[in-house]
Amino acid sequence: MRDDASWDEDVRLAVFRAFAAHGRAPSAPELADAAGGSLAVAKQALHRLADAHHLVLDECEHVVLAHPFAAKSLGFSVMGSHTLWWGGCAWDSFAIPHLVDGEPEVLVATRCPGCGQPHALVVNRTEPPEGTQVAHFLVAAARMWDDVLHTCGNQRLFCCESCVDAWLAETGQAKGSVLDLVTLWRLARGWYEGRLERGYRRREPGSAAAYFAETGLTGPFWAAAAGV
């Protein structure tokens, strides 16, 4: 008899592979197929996966986030040669070409929250995109899962740091961490490695902090907690 962990992994793979291939969450029949024909078993697995921070469910038990993929707009569209995705945030949008084998280059489109300027960047696996834009991360690493939709909605691309400062002044929020495009690309490059494969394991705090440090992100903001 199969245990919960075995069903969880089958359902997890069904979710992530549907997003990767089609830019959407799996349908109810697809979820049921992954759980031996039982939608009830699939939904139980989804809740366990959400509790373990593999994905995010809404109040109707629909998958809304399966990093780096999103089921709704959080400020980024990511267009490949064959698939169009919603990117969960700046970090996730830059990660998609590194994760999806058949899409080595994508067009990431967004608007600056500070001034509304549209931005479109070609992101690939080979080298960081050129540009003077910056990413601003509002929520520190240790608190990212407190309200992950809020966190992702506030990992955005701005024209420059002055646009970040203007947006913070307008919204009354404290400054977080500002990354140039090279650092953002390095952060995204290997963070989700193996997520589409069986047996994927999330990083523990120590390995997460070490990964951040390798990309040049250190200090209290990037001190990782369990579940990052």
Quickly state the pLDDT bin for 87 (edges 50, 70, 90).
Answer: very high
Cα separation, 171 vs 194, in Å, equals 37
Q: Give the mean model confidence (pLDDT) for residues 81-100.
A: 97
Strands 76-79 and 69-70: unpaired
Give pLDDT tens digits for 14-42.
999 999 999 999 999 999 999 999 999 99
Q: Is 216 left (phi over 0), alpha (psi -120 to 50) or beta?
A: left
Where along the chain do its domains lie?
4-66, 70-222
The residue whose two tokens read 């799996």 is: 26
Give pLDDT tens digits for 121-163.
999 999 999 999 999 999 999 999 999 999 999 999 999 999 9
Query: Can you give the pLDDT at residue 227?
Result: 52
Percent of the chain with pLDDT over 90: 94
**Is 178 a residue whose pLDDT tops 90?**
yes
The residue whose two tokens read 């990037």 is: 222
70-222 is classed CATH 3.30.70.360: no
**Is 57 a residue whose pLDDT tops 60?**
yes
Task: Please identify, in words, the CATH class of the domain defined by 4-66.
Answer: mainly alpha
What's the per-residue H, E or C state across 31-81?
Answer: HHHHCCCCHHHHHHHHHHHHHCCCCEECCCCCEEEECCEECCCCCEEEECC
**What burial letters (b/e) apply to 70-97, b meaning 16+ CB within 10 Å?**
bbeebbbbbebeebebbbbbbbbbbbbb
Query: Can you give the pLDDT at residue 224?
Result: 75
